[in-house]
Every structure is written in structure tokens, then in C-alpha cells.
Amino acid sequence: MPQAAITRRRFITIAASGMAIAALGNVRAAWTRDIAPMRWRGSALGAQVSIEIHHPDPRAAMELVDASVHMVRRFERLFSLYRSDSAICELNRSGVLIAPEPDMVELLRAALRLSQLTDGAFDPTVQPLWQCCERHFARAGADAAGPPPQELAEALAKVGYAGLRVSDDRIALARRGASITLNGIAQGYATDRVVELLRRGGLSTTLVDIGEIRAIGARPDGTPWRIGLADADAAGRTFATIDLIDRAVATSSGSGFRFDRDGKFNHLFDPATGRSSARYRSVSVVAATATEADALSTAFSVMSEQHIAELVAARPGLEVVLSNAAGQLRTLRS
């Protein structure tokens, strides 16, 4: 029987088992054996959360659920811009974090490596651009052309990953008024850490989705997990599928968040210009880790196709699916 596609979705699902899994529709899974899953539902990292662990041992399943929830909650206290008491909000308020937690240091170091790799196309310090657009479009009668040039220039002057200083005992923002966002990488990092947890728990065939998707091994029958890439402009429809075995996939699209009705201003900011990117309808990246796939899908959204192709050619194991403004697809592989 052909495999159906699992469509990338915005809420968190961990579907873990040694049993076979097949996708039904775009968000649900059916198991070949009647195993009652252990479930937890809530919200975290700015999204609705649903964690399900399918495991033949109910006690082991419950322990994995509890451990996964605890880990996701801990990351939320570090990385979430939606919590005023998070570590990232404290850094943005004061410009410095003393004795930061190791996960914050690890993630920021990964962010800086990926910033260097993409020549700054991925940049965690673009938060002032978000704030500039948010303030502008919150005003009554906001100009559809976007923030005034002077306001945009002032925000852009605060952007630049070179001004983010990270060490084991201190994180600092060198530019006055600078702030960071980890929305283009934190979900990937959380996915990778949960994968590590589930591997330690003995799971060898699992699909984890915490905003980004990563497969542990193949499906129990040895075939790849098949992931459907959602059409940004047509809910419930996919435009391509990707097969995963021990790989991760992440997708970025300007339609994920729009400041204005026409969608000219979205969350994918080009750190070089301060403007939102409209190069592609969507960018999907397959990589060894969800952290890398997440950050690169963000970076590639503002990069030219030629620049993307050059980076892919130089970095083994990458696969990129570009959907241009007209909906035409191109796949790049290293």
C-alpha cells in the first residue's frame, strides 16, 4: 500500500513507537497495533502542544512523556519571547546574561556558526526589525508602504550577529538597543534534544515534530518516513513530499506571519536590508539535524538561488526544495 504523506504542522507531536505507523490525512497517525498512547496537551514555545508516546510498556511511555514535557517547558523558560521571565527576554531587557544555562550557550553558539556559514543571512539579532514593523502596523492608519525609512534605518543599525558575544559564563549584546530572537532555530534545537532523549529511552523508529521534524531511523518496515510539504497558500494541500531516514526537515514561508493584509511585510527579515523577503513562497531544507534545517530554511528565504546552490554544493548532505513566487519548484542537492 502506498504511504500517505505527513504534512508539516505548527503544533508539537511526538509519535514514538517500535510499531508501524501510517499517516491519515494531514495531521493524524494510525498504529498497526492497538496500543493506547500516553498524551499531554498544552502550549509551549508559542504553539499548541500535543505530545503522544506510543510504547508497548505503559510505564516507559509515561516516563518519556514526563521527560519530554519537562524538557520542552525548560526550553520555553530559556528561549520563549512569549514569557517575560524567560532568559532571552532578560537578555533583551538588560543586554547581558550572567552565568547562562548551558543550553542557552549551546544554542547561541550554533546560531552564530550558522550566521557565519550563511554570511549573515541567518541572524538572531533581527528582533529590532520585528519590533519596528510591529509598532508601525499597530498604529491607526499605518502606511501600507511600511515603517518610515528613518525608523527602519534605526532598527537596522541594531542588527548584526557580530555584536552578540557568547561565552560559558556570560552572554552580552554589544550594540545599544540590540535584541535577539531564536524563533528561527529554537524549535529545531528542541526537536534535536527530544530526539536524544527518546534515543536514550530505547526508541529506534520514531518521528518527532516540535515545529520542525526529525526522524529516528526508518519506519519499522524499513521504508522512509514520508513528509508532505504544505502549500503555503492552500490549507490542507501538499505540493511535494520528502523521504526521511535519520534526517530532519524544516520549512520557512513568509505566510507563517504577516504584519499587513497584503503580506508584503512578514517575519522573514533580510538582515542586510531590513526588509521582509518575498523571494520564495516556501523553502524546505533537509539536513542531519533539525537545528541546522531550521536555521538554514530561514536563511535561504532571503538568499538568491545561486548563493543557496553554492552553499549546498559545499556542504554534504543538504537537500533544499524551493517554491518560487509563481509556485514553481526546484530541488537542490549536495
Instruction: Report the binding-site residues for Mg(2+).
Output: 184, 294, 298
Amino acid at 159: V
Which three cell numbers mark 10? 505548527
User: What letter represents residue 89's amino acid?
Assistant: C
Secondary structure class of 16 (helix, strand, coil):
strand
The three-state secondary structure class of 256 is helix
Name the nearest CA neighbour of 52 among 66, 37, 33, 42.
Answer: 37
Are 80 and 43 a contacting pair, CB within 8 Å?
no
**Helix spans in 218-301 (H):** 290-300
Backbone angles phi, psi at 248, to 5 degrees: -125, 155
| Dihedral sign for Cα atoms in the order 293, 294, 297, 302 | negative
**Cα distances (Å, whole numbers) of residue 42 to 73, 106, 108:** 10, 26, 26
Binding site: residue ranges? 184, 294, 298
Which residue in this structure is represented by grid cell 521582509? Answer: 276
280: which residues sit within 8 A by CB, 6+ positions away? 253, 300, 301, 322, 323, 324, 325
